[in-house]
Amino acid sequence: DIQMTQSPSSLSASVGDRVTITCRASQTIRSYLNWYQQRPGEAPNLLISAASTLQSGVPSRFSGGGFGTDFTLTISSLEAEDCATYYCQQSYGTPWTFGQGTRVEVK
């Protein structure tokens, strides 16, 4: 299985801060990397596909980057509504695997 490792596991930041979450794959996954946001009691919601493609309706303050084994999700200016857990997920090979998540708290 391809292991996905996210860091940090949690963070606390203020409104307006720039936040970056990293995700590392245990082997190359090219750009087969997606990012999801999950709020408590809800299903995950796709933010970014193929490492850097912002999904329709997702605010432009979210961006993704990376290729191969190292990826990032950046929130350029944190807003209160961004309080959630964020997961990376690879679809390069089966079984699909998710990172362990990064919990973002807004101070």
Partner 1 sequence: QVHLVQSGAEVKRPGASVRVSCKTSGYTFTAYYIHWVRQAPGQGPEWMGRINPNSGATTYSPSFQGRVTLTRDTSNRTAYMEVGNLRSADTAVYFCAREGDAMVVPWIAYWGQGTLITVSS
| Residues of this chain that bind partner 1 (CB under 8 A) | 1, 31-34, 36, 43-46, 49-51, 87, 89, 91, 94-101
Least CB distance to partner 1 at residue 101 (A): 5
Query: Based on CB atoms, which residue is closest to partner 1, 61 or 103?
Result: 103
Least CB distance to partner 1 at residue 81 (A): 19
Query: Based on CB atoms, which residue is closest to partner 1, 78 or 101?
Result: 101
Residue 104 near residue 7, CB atoms below 8 Å: no
Query: Based on CB atoms, which residue is closest to partner 1, 55 or 77?
Result: 55
Percent of the chain that is helix, strand, coil (3-state, to 5): 5, 50, 45
Query: Based on CB atoms, which residue is closest to partner 1, 11 or 17?
Result: 11
Least CB distance to partner 1 at residue 36 (A): 8
Tell me, rounded to whole angstroms, the distance of Cα 70 from its chain centroid: 12
Nearest to 72 by CA among 86, 55, 91: 86
Residue 53's CB is within 10 A of a number of other CB atoms, namely: 13
